[in-house]
Amino acid sequence: MGSPDELIYDWNHHEVGPPPPREKPLELDDETLRDGLQSPSILDPSIEDKLKVLRYMEELQIDACDIGLPGASPRAYQTCLRISQEIGKAKMRIRPNCAVRTSRADVDPLIRISQEVGYPVEAAMFIGSSPIRFYTEGWTIDKVRGMTEDAVSYATKNEIPVMYVTEDTTRTDPESIRILFQTAIAAGAYRICIADTVGHITPQGTRALVRFIKEVVAETGTPTKIDWHGHSDRGLAIANALVAVEEGVDRVHATALGIGERCGNTQMDQLLVNLKLEGFIERDLHCLPDYCAAVSRATGQPIPDNYPAFGRDAFRTSTGVHAAAIIKAKNRGEDWLADAVYSGVPAALVGREQEIEIGFMSGASNVIYYLQQRQIEPETALVKRILQIAKERLAILNDDDVTEIIDDFHA
């Protein structure tokens, strides 16, 4: 019988120093339409909604997108075909990839799609790699190495570019990682992917693991690219992704709103915001709220009110002290100041603005500002009356509440 210490290799306690400066451009792979849809709590969007989300990806200059697993069913095949056709027809910059298991039978549908659309669609070829997965499945390293060599070489011989994905890389021992990645590279994979499939790893572990895998690739003498695919089971997906970027991975995978199996994937929207704030990318993020809203509607996944940058409350306050500081900043005529004094993310970065409401924790400045924004004279007695009622309520006042108070005051 196996034990956790025997079956889970832990990269989280390796000691490493600071990373070198990043010198190469970063690519992004959007997994919303494949890995994101593995959440058991969401709807599978219509093809029209998937194409709408695809167009937002293109607008955000996302480099690649996983569009499904065509070998799963006739419906999945048709979806992958339709999205690939749209990308070609619209001459989009974004490049599609499809998930395939490490077998010829899964590669064949992707070959047919590529032939029909007239350009090669990348294979995201995945297989379990960790000792705990081997133990559960009854696999050996020799069996998985053989499957890898056969499927990767078959795909590349049929002009399908292969990204080879070792599931559960972050709990896999160094020797198995070396054997499988170097086998895939020798068979023709142009890209490999580190997968934190169960969200196990920490930022420290990410740093150590990426450095080791860069050494594994260097040993092959090839220009093989390295991807990072993370999950949120420990709430560390964004932190891990940023460390992977610092360490020089070529591409990071993520999903809109972090949708995905169990606790979800790295959040693409949060990743883009943080990459922009940290200077890793330069692009316009004003359509990010629309991207998030489109995915929310299409999947039936609500955006939590306190969701960073895109939740209803992200730039909204009814607290008197906070509102007063924002108002003072606005009165100085410096928009950036109002966006920074009580916000770690500038609202303008994602096409939003600071909002001031009236509630039980408000002060007179909230009421005055609210009225002035609506071209209503902030008479002292009116301000006092609104604030008095707000202090008695259990929730903030909405527009109808304030209108009713004003009407009663002037009656």
pLDDT in tens, 328-378: 888 888 888 888 888 999 999 999 988 889 999 999 999 998 898 899 999
In the chain, the percentage of residues whose pLDDT exceeds 90 is 84
The answer to whether residue 6 scores a pLDDT higher than 80 is no
Mean pLDDT confidence for 220-242: 98
Residue 1: is its pLDDT beyond 60? no
- What would the mean pLDDT of 278-290 be, rounded to a whole number? 95
Q: What's the mean pLDDT in 159-164? A: 98
The pTM of the full predicted model, rounded to 2 decimals, is: 0.91
- What CATH number is given for 4-299 in this structure? 3.20.20.70
What's the whole-number mean pLDDT along residues 115-122? 97
Is the pLDDT score of 4 beyond 90?
A: no
3-class DSSP string for the chain: CCCHHHHCCCHHHCCCCCCCCCCCCCEEEECCCCHHHHCCCCCCCCHHHHHHHHHHHHHCCCCEEECCCCCCCHHHHHHHHHHHHHHHHCCCCCEEEEEEECCHHHHHHHHHHHHHHCCCCEEEEEEECCHHHHHHHCCCHHHHHHHHHHHHHHHHHCCCCEEEEEECHHHCCHHHHHHHHHHHHHCCCCEEEEECCCCCCCHHHHHHHHHHHHHHHHHHCCCCEEEEECECCCCCHHHHHHHHHHCCCCEEEEEHHHCCCCCCECEHHHHHHHHHHCCCCCCCCCCHHHHHHHHHHHHCCCCCCCCCCCCCCCCEECCHHHHHHHHHHHHCCCHHHHHHCCCCCCHHHHCCCCEECCCCCCCHHHHHHHHHHCCCCCCHHHHHHHHHHHHHCCCCCCHHHHHHHHHHHHC
**Average pLDDT for residues 75-80, to the nearest whole number?**
97
Average pLDDT over residues 52-58: 98
**Please, what is the average pLDDT of the chain?**
94
pLDDT above 70: residue 235: yes
Residue 3, pLDDT score: 65
If pLDDT is split at 50, 70 and 90, which confidence band does 186 have?
very high
What pLDDT score was predicted for residue 338?
Answer: 86
Domain ranges of the chain: 4-299, 316-410
